[in-house]
Amino acid sequence: MSEHPDSALVRRGYDAFGRGDMATLGSLMMSDCAYHLPGSSQVSGHYKGRDNVLSLFGRLFELTGGSLRVVLDGVFVDGRGHAVTAHKWFAEREDRGIEMRGGLLFTIVGGKISDIDECVEDIDQTDAFWDAPG
C-alpha cells in the first residue's frame, strides 16, 4: 500500500521544517498560504502569504535559539484535500522549556498547502512560554 500524496507532502514539510530548510518548505506551499497560530501570545495570530508564514517560522527558531523541534507521530488524510497531524514539540527559551503535544490541520489544493491551523494541548501554557522573557 503506497502513501497518499497528501500524506507524503505533509511529511516532506515536517522534514524540511526540522532541517530548517525554508526553501523546500516554501516550495510546498501556495503563495497565499495561511497559518493560524492559537492563543494570545506575541506569536499568535493569522499569517497570510507564504513569505509571512516562513517569517513566522524563522521568528520561532530565533525566539528559541534554534532549539525548537517537532517529532511527528502521525499523518491522517481524508482524500479530499485535508490532512491532520499529531506531533510533540519541544523548545527552550532562556531557563524555560516546553514539551507539548499538538497537531496541524492542513488544507491542500492542487498538491500544495493552502492553509494550516495549529492546535496545541494547552493554550495557556503555550502563551506563557512564548511571552516569557527571553
Q: What is the pLDDT of residues 88-118, one digit of tens each?
A: 999 999 889 999 999 999 999 999 999 999 9
- Whole-prediction pTM: 0.95
Q: What is the pLDDT of residue 1?
A: 72
Cβ–Cβ under 8 Å, residues 57 and 64: no
Span 28-77, pLDDT tens digits: 999 999 999 999 999 999 999 999 999 999 999 999 999 999 999 999 99
For the chain, the domains span: 5-131
Fold classification of 5-131 is Nuclear Transport Factor 2; Chain: A, (3.10.450)
Is the alpha carbon torsion for 133, 35, 126, 86 positive or negative? negative
Residue 134 has pLDDT above 90, yes or no: no
Q: How many CB atoms lie within 10 A of CB 82?
A: 14
Kindly list the strands in the beta sheet with 45-48, ordered across the sheet, starting from the edge strand earlier in the chain. Answer: 45-48, 29-37, 112-120, 96-109, 82-93, 69-77
Could you give the 3-state DSSP secondary structure of residue 61?
A: helix
* DSSP codes of every residue in 92-110: EETTEEEEEEEEEEEEEET
